[in-house]
């Protein structure tokens, strides 16, 4: 339904007047409705949405099964707080996640509201279990905007700025990036240097990493690196935390990103696509570790809200019924094939990265120097929007375009997105 042409200016003016400047918005449009892989703005224009709420909508906008589950739960009760009385949707979701993360091993869960809360609680659990203070994270990783979250995040601008001092006993080390000359062995050597020069391993409570760095540029940790890290953490009694907030729930072609390397982490953080757009997050892990905090040590007023739990259970049903893991692989393969065709025409597309449907392109000034070109990426995003395609950027240098389509998109949707993206790249290169 089209709004009055003046509505955009009115809403934009209100945003400028009353919304904090620090809340960035990638695209200057105002959403009025969405369904499946599409979103409509205030003028009625339709966009193919390959952002999906930044990886939240793996089952698409307003999936009918999610809407029905939330409506049914809303008619029963919307909130009672699990710390006051328990309820089945929370318990059922915990049981299902246990089997998805580590079948038959009795992993336990605590549910929260945001990804940053999940990360904070994972660190709290690890410290409570080990009675150690130190935490090691990786450069380029993103773990949230709270004090501990941004302390763990391995990027400065825009997340750290002048927000310090940061949480203590947090150490950063390089993440593998073969395109820029950092091998798995290099990353492991650097980690061992941290042990020798900054904190001994018997003082480290946890190592946290994204199996595929999300905001850091869709960099996948090689299987050999994950396996070596798992062996190292076991050797030293360090809790290994896999942050699956963006990689989880089919984005990488498996339910969780860590499953590509055949390891079993001690704790897994989940959020984003767990509930099809409703806010819920969680920590899932080994029972002896998750049970380390005493009663009252974990929780939150809205953590595991009944509506969000109902939505999450519906999302897991959808994965089973619609074969979305297989679909993720198909989408990723189609995207990569199309992007490779474009790469032959545009050498600025330095590297194409794919793990399942988690696909990205790093743009550089030239193939030899590999100098990041963030300005070109911004022009591509703007040109793509004019074509009718919504995409966003990532990477420490903000020179990577990431594709986060719903896993429910059709082959035609992907083909259309590739056509629009190709035209956007060509337009952006001439719009200097």
pLDDT in tens, the chain (432 residues): 455 656 788 998 999 999 999 999 999 999 999 999 999 999 999 999 999 999 999 999 999 999 999 999 999 999 999 999 999 999 999 999 999 999 999 999 999 999 999 999 999 999 999 999 999 999 999 999 999 999 999 999 889 989 999 999 999 999 999 999 999 999 999 999 999 999 999 999 999 999 999 999 999 999 999 999 999 999 999 999 999 999 999 999 999 999 999 999 999 999 999 999 999 999 999 999 999 999 999 999 999 999 999 999 999 999 999 999 999 999 999 999 999 999 999 999 999 999 999 999 999 999 899 999 999 999 999 999 999 999 999 999 999 999 999 999 999 999 999 999 999 999 999 986
The pLDDT, as a whole number, for residue 5 is: 58
Q: How many CB atoms lie within 10 A of CB 431?
A: 11
Task: State how far the alpha carbon of 418 is from the alpha carbons of 39, 128, 135, 421, 425, in Å.
Answer: 18, 48, 41, 5, 10
Contacts of 278 (CB under 8 A, 6+ apart): 66, 70, 305, 307, 308, 311, 312
What's the pTM value of the predicted model, to 2 decimals?
Answer: 0.96
Output Rg (C-alpha) for the chain, integer angstroms: 21
The pLDDT, as a whole number, for residue 237 is: 98
Burial status of residue 339 (CB atoms within 10 A of its CB: 0-12, 13-18, 19 or more): buried
Q: Rounded to whole angstroms, how far apart are CA atoms 130 and 202? A: 9
The reply to whether 6-62+323-430 and 77-322 are identical in fold is: no
Sequence ranges of the domains in the chain: 6-62+323-430, 77-322
**Sequence-ordered strand ranges (E) for 73-177:** 108-112, 134-138, 170-173
The pLDDT, as a whole number, for residue 1 is: 47
Sign of CA dihedral 261, 264, 265, 270: positive
Cα separation of the two ends of the chain: 36
Q: Is the CB of residue 275 less than 8 Å from the CB of residue 319? A: no
The pLDDT, as a whole number, for residue 432 is: 67
Is 6-62+323-430 CATH 3.40.640.10? no
Nearest to 408 by CA among 344, 315, 336: 315
Task: State how far the alpha carbon of 195 is from the alpha carbons of 127, 191, 233, 289, in Å.
Answer: 18, 7, 12, 23
The pLDDT, as a whole number, for residue 8 is: 83
Q: Considering the domain 77-322 in this protein, what is its CATH number?
A: 3.40.640.10
Nearest to 283 by CA among 111, 126, 43, 411: 111
Q: Is the CB of residue 242 less than 8 Å from the CB of residue 226? A: no
CB burial of 34-48 (b: ≥16 within 10 Å; e: otherwise) equals bebbbbbbbeeeebb
């Amino acid at each position: 339904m089209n709004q009055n042409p003046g509505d955009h200016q009115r809403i934009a003016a209100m945003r400028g007047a009353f919304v904090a400047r620090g809340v960035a918005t990638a695209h200057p449009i105002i959403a009025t409705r969405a369904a499946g892989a599409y979103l409509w703005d205030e003028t009625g224009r339709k966009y193919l949405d390959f952002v999906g709420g930044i990886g939240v909508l793996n089952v698409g906008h307003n999936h009918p099964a999610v809407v029905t589950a939330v409506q049914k739960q809303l008619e029963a009760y919307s909130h009672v707080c699990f710390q006051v009385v328990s309820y089945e949707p929370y318990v059922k979701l915990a049981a299902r996640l246990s089997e998805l993360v580590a079948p038959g091993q009795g992993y336990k869960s605590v549910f929260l509201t945001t990804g940053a809360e999940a990360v904070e609680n994972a660190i709290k659990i690890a410290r409570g279990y080990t009675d150690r203070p130190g935490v090691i994270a990786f450069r380029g990783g993103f773990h949230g905007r709270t004090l501990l979250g941004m302390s763990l995040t391995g990027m400065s601008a825009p997340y750290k700025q002048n927000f310090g001092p940061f949480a203590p006993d947090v150490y950063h080390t390089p993440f593998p990036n073969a395109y820029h000359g950092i091998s798995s062995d290099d990353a492991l050597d650097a980690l061992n240097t941290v042990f020798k020069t900054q904190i001994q391993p018997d003082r480290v409570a946890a190592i946290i990493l994204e199996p595929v760095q999300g905001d850091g540029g869709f960099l996948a940790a090689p299987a050999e690196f994950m396996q070596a890290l798992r062996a190292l953490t076991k050797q030293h009694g360090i809790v290994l935390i896999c942050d699956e907030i963006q990689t989880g729930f089919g984005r990488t072609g498996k339910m969780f990103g860590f499953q590509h390397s055949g390891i079993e982490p001690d704790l897994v953080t989940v959020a984003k696509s767990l509930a099809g757009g409703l806010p819920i997050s969680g920590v899932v892990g080994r029972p002896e570790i998750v049970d380390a905090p005493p009663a009252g040590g974990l929780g939150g007023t809205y953590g595991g809200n009944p509506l969000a739990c109902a939505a999450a259970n519906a999302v897991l049903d959808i994965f089973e019924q619609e074969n979305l893991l297989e679909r993720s692989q198909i989408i990723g393969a189609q995207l990569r094939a199309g992007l490779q065709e474009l790469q032959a025409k545009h050498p600025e597309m330095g590297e194409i990265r794919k793990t399942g449907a988690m696909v990205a392109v790093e743009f550089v000034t030239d193939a030899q120097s590999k100098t990041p070109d963030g300005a070109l990426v911004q022009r591509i995003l703007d040109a793509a929007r004019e074509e009718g395609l919504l995409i966003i950027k990532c990477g420490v240098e903000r020179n990577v375009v990431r594709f986060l389509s719903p896993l429910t998109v059709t082959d035609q949707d992907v083909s259309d997105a590739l056509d629009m993206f190709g035209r956007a790249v060509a337009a952006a290169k001439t719009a200097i």
